[in-house]
Structures are given as C-alpha cells and as structure tokens.
Chain A
C-alpha cells in the first residue's frame, strides 16, 4: 500500500519501449541504474506526469492514483519534485527568487523551511546571484533546494551530478547524503555512474532496454553474479563495516566487518561509525592457504558460494564473508589450477578497498 506502484508501457523514440511493472519502496534512496538509452529518464517523466503513456498504465503513490484508468493527474497536482540534469533554474529570477517560486507553490506544509534548506545546501552566499553567475555545481544545489521547498512527497533526480566536475560532484553528493539521512523523503535517483549509486542508494533497480532486469537492496544486487552489473569492468561488492580503531603511526584505519578486521587508508571518522566499503572484483584474489608473508594486509577467510564464467579467460567468484558477499574476478586458468568448487573455504586477498562516504543506510 505505502509504496510506489508502477505499470507502464510507454513508447519512446525509434523502437524504444519502456515496459515496467513493479513496486518500488517509498523510503530511502532508490537508484535507477542503466546505460544511456535504457529508459531511465522516460521512467522519471512518467512518474512526474511530464509524459503520458499512450494506453492505460498505473502510477500509484502511497495509495493515491496519479495515473490509472480514467485518471491522469498533471505534474502540478502530484506532490513530486524533479531535479533535472541541466538544473533548469529560471533565468529571470535570482537564487532567492527561484527558491521563492517553489515555496509560493508548495503543495503541503510539511516541507522543510527556507533557512534550513539554504543551510543544508550551502547557499547562504548565493541568494542574490542570478543563475547565469553560478557554477554548474552551485546551480544544481539551487535546483535541489528549490525542489525541496515545493514540499514534495517524492523527489526525482535525473543524473544531477552528470555535468559537474569531480569536486563539485563530491560536494553535491555529500549534500544529497545528508538530505537522505535527515529527511523522510523518498528519492528516485537516476544514474549511470555505479560509484555514485554505491555512495547514495539503499535500493537498486537495474534498467536495460526499457525493462527492469533486477532490483533489490544495493548490497544484495552488488554481491550477485547473475546481474548485468557483475559483468561490468568496474564490478564491485559493497560491504558494511564499523570503524573500530585508528592506527596513526601507519596511517591506517581499522574496520570490523563480520567479525574480521579490514584495514583502509586513514579516516577522520570516530570509532563506532558504520561505513560502506566498495571492494572491486578485480582487486580481490583467492588462495587456499593463508599466506603468511604477503604484502597484502587484508586477507579474510571466506566461503566460495558461486562461480560464474566471465568471458573466455576469466571467472567471477562470489565469496561469503559471514552474511555479506565479496566478488573476485580471477583467470579461468587459476580457477582450474586451484580446482575451485562451490563450498570451498578460501582466503580472499583484498588489494584495495575504498571507504565510501557516510552511508545513509536507513534500510537496516
């Protein structure tokens, strides 16, 4: 009931056709991931009411029909806000004017206040500027603030970081993470950048050629071998850990993951904080005996749970570490030489693990 139910059949350009029938959670951040042309923006447009599927279809949010037989609520009657890739600030209004525009038309009184939003998105010094005088990152932060001030019940974001340079993208991402943690506002986040998605999302929907191929929690989907995601070069597992100790002498931070210890580069965060780690499959190798004199610090006992062929020369391994999963991509020759079998107890050598920004993780 309290969800976003979608049944859409929407033709697009050329032979493209979006065909979706699913229920998405109405909490946390749901990332819609897929290559360009997979229908991500079409999906958001249908949810926002900017595009109307030709025949039938259903968009129901928290029991309210936005699109159903005989019902089509126009965008201005749906309590949905949309952050576009190109910000779309109104050029004849300054930043304050853009924010006021949304506030004057807000569709409920339960939204965040102006002062709060300005603080969250670090806009204090920009209020009197015109959109033409803003950098791409500043524009996008204003666009997010403007969307929040319209008091939406659902926030749609269409690749908001795609046009930003690295620094601006990090700053914007940090803002979004703060919002995801502080607001009870479900977000649908469209992206084709899996690292961005790994930082932000609780749930993941994989879209390809207008169809949903997989969906579930981010950690589950990233740990699986049978998704399109695992076939990508930068395939990586995401694991959750707790910061346990700092080692300033060697510039390292210790995390506890499923009772094991993992070392990463030094972090400023306090012990006890939960963090996500992104471990690329290409940086994980396995051995049968625990190497005693390896330069690799992170060697964890794991159980081989799945083997999948990946191209002609390589295989992908799914390794269970407690209740979580790692991925490893090794050569088929190594797999044959080690005579790897599902159920084997192995040691995973992790060459690199990237600690992600503070994770929202409200799905736990």
Chain B
C-alpha cells in the first residue's frame, strides 16, 4: 500500500472519529429535545436535520463552499481566530461531515428517546432524581444500544462521504484526500487494481460493521431500540 493510501486511510478514520464524537455531543441534546416536544414547530427542526438524507451531497457542499470562502463572515472569522483558511481544510471537512451525518445520529437517538416512558422519569423525579440524573440513570441505560447504533451509523456514513468532501475539501493528499476521493482518483487515472483494493476494503468494512450492528440489535428485548 502506498503512503498516499495510508494517509487517506488515516485521514478517513480521523475524520469519521472526530465527526462521530462531535455528533454524539451535539446530537444527544438535540435528539432529546426533539423527542420531548409535543408542538408542531419542532417538526421544522426535524426537517432541517433530515435534509442531508434527500439532498444531493453536492448541493450541501456547494452552499458550504460559499459559506467557508475566505471573504465571508464565517471564513474571515475563522482566519482571524486560527490564522488558516477554512475552505479546503480538514476543519472544513469536519464541519461538513457533522452536518451531512447529523440525521444518522439524531434519528436513531430520537426514536429511542421517544420510547422511554415519561412515567419512568416521573417516578425517578419523585424518588429524588434531578433531570440530568434522570437522563444518566434511566434514559442512558435504556437507550445504550441506540447510542452504539447512532455512533456506528454516523461513523460509517462519514467514511462513505464523497460529494460534500469533493466540493469543500478538494483533493489535497494528507489534508483532505479521504478514501472515497482517493478511489475516485484511481478510477480517473484508470488504476483499477488500486481502485479495487480501496473499494473492496470499504465494502468489507461496511458489511462487517452493519452485520455486527444488526446482530447485536436482536438481543435484549427490554431495551429501547431505534
């Protein structure tokens, strides 16, 4: 395997890991909030979260590219703060991936949270548990499996990202050249043997991950599943 390929693998894993961690931190409160709303307007928030499911990734990438450009408010604020350009950077990939994979983390969590009976939280409250304690001691254990599902889906989906990366990351080896882009490069230059290596590797990785997920989901009937 070439250094470029190893770089691409490392970059992909780093991107997916950082994205997944950020998604769990941001997605958990968002999913909890969505799961406890009875009014209609939070459906709008749900719709926005779900957009990456149906939009072509290039649409999202196009708007993010405009947003990250050096002249824009975000782009220049980023430059002032970090001294580097946001567009075509690893950070831009992270931001793009977080938005792109958000529904894959929020939706399973929200579905699981919705199935935690409010009555259990009321019981916990009358036994002296504050809201954060209720979440930690009741909601988390009951939905633990959905966190693993959400994290796996978020991770896998980020690994499989192409359109957004192409638009906002470009193709800089060691900085923004992730596996899917490297594969595209091989195909473009007709290096099919190398392309097979990467493509086949991704197929096996995805299959193993999803199999492990679904197998695990069949057990433990009392748990709240997504």
Residues of A within 8 A of B (CB): 48-50, 74-76, 80-82, 84, 86, 88, 90-92, 101-102, 105-107, 130, 132, 146-147, 150
Asked if A91 contacts B126 (CB within 8 A), the reply is no
Q: Does B130 make an interface contact (CB < 8 A)?
A: yes
Asked if B128 contacts A105 (CB within 8 A), the reply is yes
Q: Given the complex of chains A and B, what is the CA–CA distance between A146 and B137 in angstroms? A: 16
Range, interface on chain B? 10 to 19
Asked if A84 contacts B119 (CB within 8 A), the reply is yes
Residue of B nearest to A150 (CB): B127
B223 proximity list for chain A (CB < 8 A): 92
Q: Is the interface of A mostly helix, strand, loop or mixed?
A: loop
Asked if B119 contacts A92 (CB within 8 A), the reply is no
| Beta-carbon contacts under 8 Å, B206-226 to A | 222-223
Chain A nearest Cβ from B10, distance in angstroms: 38
Contact partner of A75 (CB less than 8 A), chosen from B117, B120, B122, B142, is: B122
Q: Given the complex of chains A and B, what is the CA–CA distance between A340 and B123 in angstroms? A: 55
Residues of B within 8 A of A (CB): 117, 119-120, 122-130, 133, 137-138, 141-142, 222-223
Q: Given the complex of chains A and B, what is the CA–CA distance between A251 and B203 in angstroms? A: 83
Contact partner of B138 (CB less than 8 A), chosen from A76, A86, A90, A150, is: A90
Chain A nearest Cβ from B108, distance in angstroms: 18
Residue of A nearest to B140 (CB): A92
B122 proximity list for chain A (CB < 8 A): 50, 75, 82, 84, 88
A101 proximity list for chain B (CB < 8 A): 124, 127, 137
Q: Given the complex of chains A and B, what is the CA–CA distance between A93 and B126 in angstroms? A: 17
The 6 closest A-B pairs by CB, nearest first: A105-B128, A88-B123, A75-B125, A82-B126, A92-B141, A150-B127
Asked if A81 contacts B126 (CB within 8 A), the reply is yes
Asked if B120 contacts A90 (CB within 8 A), the reply is yes
Assuming the contacts A76-B130, A84-B119, A132-B222, asked whether A91 and B142 have C-beta atoms less than 8 A apart, the reply is: yes
Asked if B119 contacts A75 (CB within 8 A), the reply is no
Asked if A84 contacts B128 (CB within 8 A), the reply is no
Asked if A91 contacts B222 (CB within 8 A), the reply is yes
Residue of B nearest to A91 (CB): B222
Contact partner of B129 (CB less than 8 A), chosen from A76, A92, A146, is: A76
B222 proximity list for chain A (CB < 8 A): 91-92, 130, 132
Q: Given the complex of chains A and B, what is the CA–CA distance between A242 and B76 in angstroms? A: 90
Asked if A50 contacts B128 (CB within 8 A), the reply is no
Chain B nearest Cβ from A160, distance in angstroms: 13
Other 5 A-B pairs with CB < 8 A, given A75-B125, A147-B127, A150-B127: A76-B126, A76-B128, A90-B123, A107-B128, A147-B126
- Contact sample, A vs B, 16 pairs, CB 8 Å cutoff: A50-B122, A76-B128, A76-B129, A80-B126, A81-B127, A82-B123, A84-B123, A86-B119, A88-B117, A88-B122, A90-B123, A92-B141, A101-B124, A106-B128, A132-B222, A150-B128
Chain A nearest Cβ from B122, distance in angstroms: 5
Q: Given the complex of chains A and B, what is the CA–CA distance between A299 and B137 in angstroms? A: 62
Q: Given the complex of chains A and B, what is the CA–CA distance between A50 and B120 in angstroms? A: 12
Interface centre among B123, B124, B137 (most CB of A within 10 A): B123
Asked if A75 contacts B141 (CB within 8 A), the reply is no
Chain A nearest Cβ from B220, distance in angstroms: 10
B142 proximity list for chain A (CB < 8 A): 91-92
Q: Given the complex of chains A and B, what is the CA–CA distance between A76 and B117 in angstroms? A: 18
Asked if A88 contacts B129 (CB within 8 A), the reply is no
A106 proximity list for chain B (CB < 8 A): 128
Assuming the contacts A101-B137, A132-B222, asked whether A88 and B120 have C-beta atoms less than 8 A apart, the reply is: yes
Asked if B127 contacts A105 (CB within 8 A), the reply is yes
A82 proximity list for chain B (CB < 8 A): 122-123, 126
A81 proximity list for chain B (CB < 8 A): 126-127
Assuming the contacts A101-B137, A132-B222, asked whether A88 and B128 have C-beta atoms less than 8 A apart, the reply is: no
Asked if B119 contacts A88 (CB within 8 A), the reply is yes
A105 proximity list for chain B (CB < 8 A): 127-129, 133
Q: Given the complex of chains A and B, what is the CA–CA distance between A50 and B222 in angstroms? A: 26
Residue of B nearest to A85 (CB): B119
Q: Given the complex of chains A and B, what is the CA–CA distance between A146 and B123 in angstroms? A: 10
B130 proximity list for chain A (CB < 8 A): 74, 76
Contact partner of A146 (CB less than 8 A), chosen from B117, B127, B138, is: B127
Interface centre among B117, B128, B137, B138 (most CB of A within 10 A): B128
Q: Given the complex of chains A and B, what is the CA–CA distance between A102 and B125 in angstroms? A: 10
Q: Given the complex of chains A and B, what is the CA–CA distance between A50 and B121 in angstroms? A: 10
Chain A nearest Cβ from B222, distance in angstroms: 5
